[in-house]
Amino acid sequence: MTEEIIVEVEMRKKGQLTIPSEIRDLLHLKDGQKFILIVNGSEIVLFPKIINPLDKIGLLGSEDEQFDFKEKLIYYKSR
């Protein structure tokens, strides 16, 4: 079971919050990383945005190579 960490942070004038360095290090968060923020009633939940490898598919080569990669990814995910 993962240990729960609770910290107090302060919101700045422009709505900015600072994630303490211990937490950034623990979660391997980097400068410029994007997050998903969910508001559920009076709760705020913050998740690091995960990059979908299919979003970067154009970096992999020709259309045929891209299609092969997509097929392989679907195959391995279904196993």
Handedness of CA 56, 61, 62, 66 (dihedral sign): negative
List, for residues 21-49, the tens digit of each pLDDT value: 999 999 899 999 999 999 989 999 998 88
Residue-level pLDDT at 57: 61
Q: Tell me the residue range of the domain where 66 lies.
A: 33-78
Q: Is residue 68 part of a domain?
A: yes
> Distance between CA atoms of 5 and 77, rounded to whole angstroms?
32
Residue-level pLDDT at 49: 85
- Give the confidence band of 59 by pLDDT, cuts at 50, 70, 90: low
Average of per-residue pLDDT across 45-55: 79
Q: Is residue 24 part of a domain?
A: no
Q: Is residue 67 part of a domain?
A: yes
Q: Is residue 26 part of a domain?
A: no
Q: Are 50 and 33 in contact (CB under 8 A)?
A: no
Q: Are 1 and 8 in contact (CB under 8 A)?
A: no
Average of per-residue pLDDT across 39-65: 74
Distance from first CA to last CA of the chain, Å, rounded? 27
| pTM for the full predicted model | 0.56
DSSP SS3 for 70: helix
Average of per-residue pLDDT across 9-15: 95
Query: For residue 73, what are its two tokens?
Result: 């990814």
Q: Is residue 28 part of a domain?
A: no
Place of tokens 């303490």: 20
User: How many domains does one find in the chain?
Assistant: 1
Q: Is residue 12 part of a domain?
A: no
